Amino acid sequence: MRASKVAHRPVGLALGAASGMIAGVAFKQAWKMIGHDDDAPDATDEDRTWQEVLLAAALQGAIFAVVKAAVDRAGATTVRRLSGTPAPTSPGKRLPPPSPEPVADRGC
């Protein structure tokens, strides 16, 4: 394992935890701003309507995705600036190689 990847791992974990907390605070503020109760509904809260539960879930997902992307991007930029090399990527984030073209059946 490369040294940059080993060094980047604890930083990535810390940034991930921080981004989760930031997103949680941002969601609570956004939920209050759109005029709903102080607490967002849980999916199993039967006192809330489907519309309210689904709106809360969509808003929460969007906020978490934006915060995660911003933190990941800032972390990668910082690693590149400090080390001069791109931040390591996990194998799951790489695109697979293109598959070969299928061979046409020639009906022998």
Q: What percent of the chain has pLDDT over 90?
A: 28
- The answer to whether residue 1 scores a pLDDT higher than 50 is yes
Angle at 75 (CA atoms; ends 72, 78), nearest 5 degrees: 150
Q: Where are the domains of the chain?
A: 3-89
CA distance 28 to 59: 10
pLDDT digits (tens, 9 = 90+) for 8-29: 677 778 888 889 999 999 999 9
Calculate the average pLDDT of the chain. Answer: 79
Q: What is the mean pLDDT of the segment spanning 26-45?
A: 86
Q: How far is CA 65 from CA 26, 35, 57, 69, 105, in A?
A: 12, 22, 12, 6, 45
Contact between 35 and 28 under an 8 Å Cβ cutoff? The reply is no
The residues near 62 (Cβ < 8 Å, ≥ 6 apart) are none
pLDDT for the residue numbered 22: 92
Per the structure block, which two tokens stand in for 90?
Answer: 């996990």
Contact between 86 and 75 under an 8 Å Cβ cutoff? The reply is no
Within 10 angstroms of residue 105's Cβ, the number of other Cβ atoms is 6
CA distance 12 to 5: 10
